[in-house]
Structure 1
């Protein structure tokens, strides 16, 4: 385990009942770590209360006031994330087993220990602590993401309750968008964000009056303007969400077109996020092949023709070709298939 410059700020505590041993450790280690020392177990506990927690604690085994195993067992109880090591000249197997079982010892080091060996052991302990912390943070993020996804599902149910004709539309669109993104070898984390955005891409329709959402006849220009606002409203709902994915942006852009004829911002070409381009095509496919308030589903043939007509002008070429391949393979199905 190589020493790194960043380790200079990592707090490490060395415990021994011999001051000369501690002086030697200070000379060899103080430039490599944020080194603290304690003369015996009682002083170590005081140091931990005053300056802790320490990332690594290394204790001598044989000490008069409190042996190293007893000390490290207390450290384990008080500071479970601290990496604990024992250093002793009494390196018999029974001691090693008791040290591991009682104090959950990370390393058992013999005394005297070469400075380089001690540095390597401390570095290994720091890396272990970093991995444990990273694993804990990943678990927290996973739980937050799971909770966030459940919240998004609740939002989709809210929209579909007001607009029964789109029941399942956002989930189906999310499935299609993910299939396209996976076939295009998009990064897995980007796909995760795309899926979440697709699940709520029509959330802005909560601001559209129900009689417009469910109107059987042709919409007036004024009514269509209200419908079009759903992309902006949806983006506003998720603005400043505090997640790493551009969910608000994808929602806002899912009706943009390559030639600038889309809404709400008239973006064109590379101004539109790739995830938004994928969601746009997925949204169109599901809208065409499923029933709407004013018509029955038109089938995959109609969807294919519409995408081919707009390929390269309205819709991204690669996204369209990927979607067409998935439809040809039967991966994207019509309701009832």
Structure 2
């Protein structure tokens, strides 16, 4: 390769280094700055001449707490290992802060090993992340308030089932945990459990609190609560299929459930779990038309009808939860 070719290649590399959009810098293995490009200067507010020859630990770029972290990365470079991406907060010359993601690479220049660092400004990215997090937290708060309001509305109409939805949610959560459902599925099930009886707001209080058995027309009206609940919940943009879970929680594997009479393969897993949790909690609780039936009866109900009405895996998980001495509503 001719001397002119080598010189031309070096000039091209110098241009690429100088005008790269990220901050490029060179240090020796002791952490002394050797060079930097324009983007690096803009990133920290110093001219490279102000930093060349200085050890990074002696500058004000890094806080005292960050220096050991940077020194550890430099030690890895000395062993020939690249590092990163690693996040740092740089203090600019004017005192303002810049968040960067840094990668480092040990390279050979003129027979010596030096460190090439590439710093990418992530300040805006982090700010956007923080804003999104705050927005998500606000959305979660609104969602929780909405759920609490819906739950309260039902319980005021039907004092005998006060706390029922919460207790069903506790049991459904425990079953889902036993079955190792993905987090997103568990979250959707939890919300659906908390509002699964919202449709009862459309049922007259006299029917909900009736101390004797219901007539066929009255029971038909009660069964409509899943449809009413579905109509209410589908208007809310939940990030989970809450309305569909609520709609299906009285469906049964053999098609004997309501409102649609769908069978095993058509019923969502979350609805199967909610259905079992609802049955168990209802049997353990007092109702205006009957006393609490007790744990033994509840266990017998889901065990006897496993595979027929209730999903086998769901029932088995529920039984394990109920036998766990640490579990309580």
Determine the structure 2 residue equivalent to 1:149.
Answer: 144
Q: Among 250, 254, 268, which residue is 1:273 paired with?
A: 268
Once the two structures are superposed, what CA deviation does each residue of 1:115-142 show, in whole Å capped at 9, x if it has no partner?
A: x957x323xx24x644553344234223
More strand by share: 2
1:105 Cα deviation after fit: 3.5
Q: Are the counterparts in 1 of residues 20 and 39 from structure 2 also a CA contact under 8 Å?
A: no
In 1: Cα distance, 2:40 partner to 2:315 partner: 65
Q: Among 23, 39, 43, which residue is 1:58 paired with?
A: 39
Q: Among 247, 253, 256, which residue is 1:258 paired with?
A: 253
Q: Are the counterparts in 2 of residues 86 and 107 from structure 1 also a CA contact under 8 Å?
A: no
Structure 1: gaps spanning 5 or more residues: 1-22, 34-56, 61-67, 73-83
Cα–Cα, structure 1 residues 94 and 187, in superposed 2: closer, same or farther, change >3 Å? closer
Q: Among 49, 54, 72, which residue is 1:89 paired with?
A: 49
Determine the structure 2 residue equivalent to 1:190.
Answer: 185
In 1: Cα distance, 2:18 partner to 2:302 partner: 72
In 2: Cα distance, 1:318 partner to 1:301 partner: 20
Q: Are the counterparts in 2 of residues 289 and 299 from structure 1 also a CA contact under 8 Å?
A: yes
Moved more, 171-180 or 150-159: 150-159
Cα–Cα, structure 1 residues 217 and 95, in superposed 2: closer, same or farther, change >3 Å? closer
Q: Among 187, 191, 194, which residue is 1:199 paired with?
A: 194
In 1: Cα distance, 2:252 partner to 2:198 partner: 20
Is residue 239 of structure 1 aligned with residue 220 of structure 2?
Answer: no
1:191 Cα deviation after fit: 1.3
Q: Are the counterparts in 1 of residues 189 and 245 from structure 2 also a CA contact under 8 Å?
A: yes
Cα–Cα, structure 1 residues 226 and 59, in superposed 2: closer, same or farther, change >3 Å? same
In 2: Cα distance, 1:238 partner to 1:85 partner: 54
Cα–Cα, structure 1 residues 189 and 280, in superposed 2: closer, same or farther, change >3 Å? same
1:214 Cα deviation after fit: 1.0
Structure 2: gaps spanning 5 or more residues: 1-13, 23-37, 63-90, 103-108, 110-114
Q: Among 92, 108, 121, which residue is 1:99 paired with?
A: 92
Cα–Cα, structure 1 residues 87 and 197, in superposed 2: closer, same or farther, change >3 Å? farther
The 5 A counterparts of 1:5-84 are 24=15, 29=20, 58=39, 60=41
The 5 A counterparts of 1:302-317 are 302-317=297-312
1:101 Cα deviation after fit: 6.4
1:211 Cα deviation after fit: 1.1
Q: Are the counterparts in 1 of residues 175 and 317 from structure 2 also a CA contact under 8 Å?
A: yes
Q: Among 163, 167, 191, which residue is 2:162 paired with?
A: 167
TM-score by length of 2: 0.69
For the aligned residues, what is the CA RMSD?
A: 3.2
Q: Among 270, 284, 293, which residue is 1:289 paired with?
A: 284
Is residue 216 of structure 1 aligned with residue 211 of structure 2?
Answer: yes
Moved more, 264-273 or 98-107: 98-107
Q: Are the counterparts in 1 of residues 45 and 94 from structure 2 also a CA contact under 8 Å?
A: no
1:24 Cα deviation after fit: 3.8
Q: Are the counterparts in 2 of residues 258 and 312 from structure 1 also a CA contact under 8 Å?
A: yes
Is residue 121 of structure 1 aligned with residue 116 of structure 2?
Answer: no
Matched residue SS, 2:39: strand
More helix by share: 1
Q: Are the counterparts in 2 of residues 86 and 105 from structure 1 also a CA contact under 8 Å?
A: no
Matched residue SS, 2:293: coil
